[in-house]
Amino acid sequence: ETGVTQSPTHLIKTRGQQVTLRCSSQSGHNTVSWYQQALGQGPQFIFQYYREEENGRGNFPPRFSGLQFPNYSSELNVNALELDDSALYLCASGGRVSDTQYFGPGTRLTVL
Amino acid sequence: EDQVTQSPEALRLQEGESSSLNCSYTVSGLRGLFWYRQDPGKGPEFLFTLYSAGEEKEKERLKATLTKKESFLHITAPKPEDSATYLCAVLGEQGGKLIFGQGTELSVKP
């Protein structure tokens, strides 16, 4: 059984650019959630996808968007990057909406 | 508003010195309380899920307990390899959205 994987590991962008982060869910999982973790803080929920539909969203602006594909892989897109978007972005997958979520290694995004 | 508070923010122990980490929460309709371990620069690693008050779970030197308002992570005779940040999160009635505390950074010295 493979775990949750994310790519790329690290990314450096400049303010105003757009970025796409990718996640491959753990085998057999139907849900994928994205979190943003600033240094020294707990992860903050961005949104969750269940069977390719958005199933809840946190307090993030519309420039944060996502997709879930039939093979349960997922993308997080962020437009018009701001300096405060610099963080560790975490993807988590689970069997059902209320099940335990298993996290990937994260993507470290730096916005200059 | 759903909220999770962890204490202390940082904890330094000597190897073998047992202690507890606290997670206080307020949530509408608790569906589950989760403990994770996170090493620097890495994703959280799942430890335990607790669903109802009175429930306890153990894994090696760790034991998690749950009441109606808080959870404790007890660490018995810790080793240096237990050094990490421990995160507590709750899942409320809305489902899907994990609400995390800020974490407790544990350092165990030999």
Query: Which residues in chain B touch residue A7, judged by CB atoms under 8 angstroms apart?
Result: none
> Average of pLDDT values for A14-40?
94
> Hey, what are B16's tokens?
């073998």
Q: Alpha carbon of B72 to those of A28, A54, A70: distances in Å?
A: 31, 33, 39
The pLDDT-based confidence of B87 (bands split at 50, 70, 90) is: very high
Of A49-53, B3-7, B61-65, B76-80, the one with minimum mean pLDDT is A49-53
Specify the pLDDT at position B94: 78
A48 touches chain B (CB under 8 A): yes
pLDDT digits (tens, 9 = 90+) for A34-71: 999 999 999 999 999 998 899 899 999 999 999 999 88
Residue from the list A43, A44, A56 with its beta carbon closest to the beta carbon of B96: A56
Task: State which residue of chain B sits closest to A50, comparing Cα positions.
Answer: B96
**Which has the closest alpha carbon to B88: B68, B69, B73?**
B73
The CA distance from B51 to A95, in Å, is: 16
Quote the minimal CA–CA distance from B92 to chain A in Å.
Answer: 9
**Which has the closest alpha carbon to A106: B39, B10, B97?**
B39
Query: Which residues in chain B touch residue A56, judged by CB atoms under 8 angstroms apart?
Result: 94-97
